Amino acid sequence: MYIDGVLEGNINSTKEVNIGKNGHIKGSVVTNRLIVQGFIEGTIDADKVEIKAAGRVSGEIKSAELVIEAKGIFEGNSVIKNDSIS
């Protein structure tokens, strides 16, 4: 799924979600893999989150893997998701 516009609401996908440079999401995103080149305000629950150089996230990220490129911006809380806790 590729979003390059404004969306107020929630995204729940089993596929990769890519937020383009003009994308602005207000809400929650639940997916396997998320690539952020635009702006997300809200909560993210994903196995892998990549914030690219032009990307910005404000909110909470719950993920097993978080990658922030140089000049990518993350403001908020990060929680490590680990399914192998015994």
Q: Is there a domain that residue 81 lies in?
A: no
Please indicate, yes or no, whether the overall pTM of this predicted structure exceeds 0.85. yes
Q: With respect to residue 14, please indicate whether it lies within any of the assigned structural domains.
A: yes
Please write the tens of the pLDDT for every residue from 7-63.
999 999 999 999 999 999 999 999 999 999 999 999 999 999 999 999 999 999 999
What is the per-residue pLDDT across 28-41, written as a single tens digit (0 to 9) for each?
999 999 999 999 99
Q: Are 49 and 25 in contact (CB under 8 A)?
A: no
Give the structural domain span for 66.
2-73
Determine the Cα–Cα distance for residues 73 and 40; give it in Å rounded to an integer. 11
63 belongs to a structural domain: yes
- What is the tally of structural domains in the chain? 1
CA 10/CA 65 separation, integer angstroms = 21
